[in-house]
Structure 1
Amino acid sequence: MLIDNFYEVVNLEETTANQYTALVRLNTTHDVFKGHFPNNPVMPGICMMQIIKELSESISKCELFMEQVINVKFMALINPEKCNELTFSLQVDEVDEIVKVKSTIDFVGTIALKMSSTYNKK
């Protein structure tokens, strides 16, 4: 985990072939939220992207290096004080040393992020 104690994976399961769902609980008292932004905490986009990478590493069982983000859309702000549990949906396709991931993050039916990314296995 890049940022200690920032989140915990409550559940990670394969729902169908190459499709995964993860329930992630944010640590609402983490220092990241104190600085981004004071009195109005918002989940940083780069942290969302990092969690997707780390979940993809758990799924592929190897370290990954982000090679390319083909498309990323930040669609809603995540305030951890209002909702600290997020659902990550990932489609993970592995071909040789390449891992392609299509992902979404949502909370209470609101999509916060959509991303397509490519990783190299280290």
Structure 2
Amino acid sequence: MEAYFTLDTHRQEEGKEIFAITLNRKHPVYKGHFPDVPVTPGVVLTDICRQLAEHALDKKLQLKEAKTIKFLAMVNPEMTPALDVEMMLSAENERYAARIVGSFEGKTYFKIQADFAGEL
């Protein structure tokens, strides 16, 4: 399947993983959600965050617990073609706590606090 996004840059800064991604506006998910006004589904944004955490940690992960997920604005790939994602990760007992903020041009689109674990 096609990727939801392209990773443009990844750097570490002050204990944070900082990513710049470009959304794949041609991904099939936008044909059904919604054809005339595409919106990135919350589950896709959450999965993008999992994939970015995998990249940062260099291991396969599985979402174990979504503690808080706040979608503050719709992510339309036509109007919001890219996202800056800041992620703080901490490890404890094979679980990785993540605090994630997704923004574009200074506007915050989502905030997620979740726990990931290595895939079984």
TM-score (norm. length: structure 2): 0.93
Please state whether the residue corresponding to 2:54 is helix, strand or coil: helix
Quote how far apart the aligned CAs of 1:5 are: 2.9
Quote how far apart the aligned CAs of 1:33 are: 1.1
Please state whether the residue corresponding to 1:77 is helix, strand or coil: coil
Written as runs of structure 1 = structure 2, the 5 A alignment for 1:13-92 is: 13-17=11-15, 19-92=16-89
**C-alpha RMSD of the superposition:** 1.1
Amino acid paired to 2:33: H
Q: Equivalent pairs: percent with the same residue?
A: 24
Equivalence for 1:4: 2
Quote how far apart the aligned CAs of 1:102 are: 0.2
- Mark the runs of 5 or more structure 1 residues left unpaired by the alignment: none
- Mark the runs of 5 or more structure 2 residues left unpaired by the alignment: none
Structure 1 runs of 4+ with >6 Å offset:
none
Amino acid paired to 1:7: F
Aligned residues: 119
TM-score (norm. length: structure 1): 0.92
Please state whether the residue corresponding to 1:93 is helix, strand or coil: strand
In 1: Cα distance, 2:97 partner to 2:3 partner: 27
What are the superposed Cα offsets for residues 49-73 of structure 1, whole Å, 9 maximum, x if unpaired? 0010011111111111111011110
